[in-house]
């Protein structure tokens, strides 16, 4: 977490970082997807996420009031100041792994934004309300693919199970609450994420059942993204993403 | 774009002659009267084949064209540029999709067209066999490559085959946005730091001549142009379009302080057009033969995407079949 950010700005930055890093990951697929229709849908999701990131990071900068805009936050922070969850920075892997990540995340994000669209804060609520429409589609898209791959061929099932196994250890982090969340709730901007867990479990279980897949066994959660303790992957994501801004400081693009 | 005939061979002239003369005459009269030919209408076999070749080549170009630009999505310099580039590459995928659908109305399947692309049998625009080395290349592609595409495609909105013409109407709207965003990138770079100016000039130096090649061989070396113009598949010759492109683009370069890498480029008052130097046609034909700088990389990327995606497409097919069977069983 960026220790320089006040709590409400940090809260907005977390939301922005989640969308940014996942959008960045999905952008890696562009031109390489299994079918043209999939290329279209993945880039569409990426585009939505980059839009959300722009809004939330812009808001984080505005709340901070130190002259940092969304680009400054996206392109000029290092790993330890990024506060996205570990799930979104996980590598794309094969298509099943990408879908597993999207499935777990978009279902969480849909529940989160449903609540956030109704918070009192007039900066957070409208962003969430707009994003909610997009995110519901992302969740449906990912859930449909989980069903197709889970209940498709033997190979697709094996791959879907492996993809879920890779991602599952990062799911708990989505629902972890800390002081930043508490401050955001106290200010009428935040959502009680822990309270979303039961609804999320129900959605995930329903899709897995339809996909003829077993729910992965519970395991020790891996957490830390919210406070800047990331996987090794994030540094590589940032080094590609931030390359131009770092190589040509002060240039206007 | 990407509508140049790259076959290099003259279509067999007997193809049209062996058709039913009455039907052929009626067809040609409709085309001459600027009527649209629709999928169920009678058409000469050579017309159908030319269209399949041209539309599928155009579709392949959209798909392969996603690669050089997709190369910069993860490295776009700010969030706005990243979003615009994502939207643009997404548009290209959409164009590919409409065009494959338009070609399918002529009796060829998307899988067949894809196989032809992957095996190297089908061609795509030579321009995409050049690499995108710096961010300025994304500007240059939008400005020059999409600019050239628009020159080619605007007349195709009135091409004689209805589904192709209608796909073109939609595509042209998006291409003009692509061209503008590319020029805007170049404007920013050209007005930027010395390093950015250098980047912009270098991109123009590398993309200028390949962009002129996009219009295809000179008219006297374009064997199928005459037939295609008579059937209104094509509405302007390669050289006419190339001239138009130079006339529009050269002042745009000047306006932002970039130099076109052609010492022979000069406004000709008498002709009311720019004179310009000779295109290196040897390079063009080498790229058509598959010897472009990154031709192997482009093909490998498409083959890999297709092969790595095989299990996904198979799973989707099997799943749909299971669902259909379950529905039948339930009824």
Using the Cβ of A53 and the Cβ atoms of chain B, whether some distance falls under 8 Å is answered with: yes
pLDDT score recorded for residue B248: 97
The reported pLDDT for the residue numbered A2 is 59
What is the rounded CA–CA span in Å between residue A46 and residue A30?
10
Identify which of B78, B90, B192 has the shortest CB distance to residue A71: B78
Quote the pLDDT of residue B7.
58
Is this structure's pTM higher than 0.90?
A: yes
Q: Tell me the average pLDDT across B93-104.
A: 96
Q: Element (H or E) spanning A86, and its range?
A: helix A86-89
- Within 8 A by CB and 6+ apart from A72, the residues are A61
Q: Nearest-CA neighbor of A167 among A102, A227, A238, A232? A: A102
Q: What is the mean pLDDT of chain B?
A: 93
Tell if the CB–CB gap between B78 and A245 is shorter than 8 Å. yes
Q: Do B97 and A37 touch (CB under 8 A)?
A: yes
Q: How do residues B152-185 score in pLDDT, each as one tens digit? A: 899 999 999 999 999 999 999 899 999 999 999 9
Ordered domains of chain A (ranges, CATH): 7-214+221-247 (1.20.1260.10)
Question: Residue B75 and residue A51: Cβ atoms within 8 Å?
Answer: no
β-partners of residue B161 are: B37
Q: Inter-chain contact A241–B75, Cβ cutoff 8 Å? A: yes
With contacts defined as CB-CB under 8 Å, which chain A residues touch B316?
Answer: 148, 152
Contacts of B99 in chain A (CB under 8 A): none
What is the value of ipTM here, to two decimals? Answer: 0.97
Radius of gyration of chain A (CA): 18
| Binary contact (A153, B311; C-beta < 8 A) | yes
């Amino acid at each position: 977490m960026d220790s320089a950010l006040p709590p409400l700005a940090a809260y907005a930055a977390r939301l922005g970082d989640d969308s940014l890093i996942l959008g960045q990951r999905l952008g890696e697929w562009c031109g390489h997807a299994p079918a043209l229709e999939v290329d279209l849908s993945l880039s569409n999701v990426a585009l939505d996420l980059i839009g959300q990131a722009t809004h939330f990071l812009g808001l984080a900068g505005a709340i901070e009031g130190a002259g940092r805009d969304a680009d400054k936050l996206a392109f000029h922070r290092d790993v330890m100041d990024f506060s996205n969850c570990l799930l979104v920075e996980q590598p794309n892997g094969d298509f099943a792994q990408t879908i597993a990540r999207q499935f777990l995340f978009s279902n969480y994000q849909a529940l989160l934004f449903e609540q956030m669209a109704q918070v009192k804060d007039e900066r957070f609520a409208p962003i969430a309300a707009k994003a909610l429409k997009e995110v519901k589609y992302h969740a449906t898209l990912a859930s449909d693919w989980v069903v197709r791959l889970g209940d498709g061929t033997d190979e697709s099932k094996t791959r879907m199970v492996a993809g879920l196994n890779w991602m599952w250890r990062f799911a708990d982090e989505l629902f972890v609450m800390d002081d930043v969340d508490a401050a955001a709730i106290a200010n009428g901007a935040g959502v009680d994420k822990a309270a979303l867990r039961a609804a999320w479990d129900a959605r995930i279980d329903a899709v897995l059942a339809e996909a003829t897949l077993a729910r992965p066994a519970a395991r020790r959660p891996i957490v830390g993204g919210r406070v800047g303790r990331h996987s090794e992957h994030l540094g590589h994501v940032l080094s590609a993403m931030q390359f131009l801004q770092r190589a040509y400081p002060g240039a206007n693009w | 774009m990407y509508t140049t005939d790259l076959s290099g061979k003259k279509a067999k002239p007997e193809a049209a002659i062996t058709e039913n003369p009455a039907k052929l005459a009626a067809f040609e009269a409709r085309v001459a009267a600027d009527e649209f030919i629709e999928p169920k209408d009678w058409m000469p076999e050579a017309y159908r084949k030319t269209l399949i070749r041209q539309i599928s080549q155009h579709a392949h170009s959209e798909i392969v064209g996603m690669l050089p630009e997709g190369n910069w999505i993860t490295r776009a310099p700010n969030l706005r540029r990243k979003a615009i580039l994502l939207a643009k590459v997404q548009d290209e995928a959409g164009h590919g999709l409409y065009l494959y659908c338009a070609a399918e109305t002529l009796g060829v399947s998307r899988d067949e067209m894809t196989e032809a692309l992957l095996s190297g049998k089908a061609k795509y625009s030579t321009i995409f066999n050049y690499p995108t080395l710096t961010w300025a290349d994304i500007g240059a592609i939008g400005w020059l490559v999409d600019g050239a595409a628009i020159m080619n495609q605007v007349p195709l909105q009135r091409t004689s085959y209805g589904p192709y013409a209608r796909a073109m109407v939609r595509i042209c709207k998006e291409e003009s946005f692509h061209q503008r965003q590319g020029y805007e990138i170049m404007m920013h770079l050209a007005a930027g730091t010395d390093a950015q100016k250098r980047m912009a000039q270098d991109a123009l130096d590398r993309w200028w001549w390949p962009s002129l090649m996009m219009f295809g061989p000179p008219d006297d070396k374009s064997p199928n142009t005459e037939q295609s113009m008579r059937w209104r598949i094509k509405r302007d010759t390669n050289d006419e379009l190339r001239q138009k492109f130079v006339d529009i683009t050269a002042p745009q370069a000047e306006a932002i302080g970039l130099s076109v890498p052609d010492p022979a480029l000069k406004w000709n008052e008498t002709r009311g057009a720019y004179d310009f130097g000779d295109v290196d046609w040897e390079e063009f034909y080498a790229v058509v033969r598959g010897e472009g700088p990154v031709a192997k990389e482009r093909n490998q990327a498409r083959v890999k995407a297709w092969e790595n995606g095989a299990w996904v497409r198979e799973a989707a097919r099997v799943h749909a079949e299971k669902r259909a069977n379950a529905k039948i069983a339930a009824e």
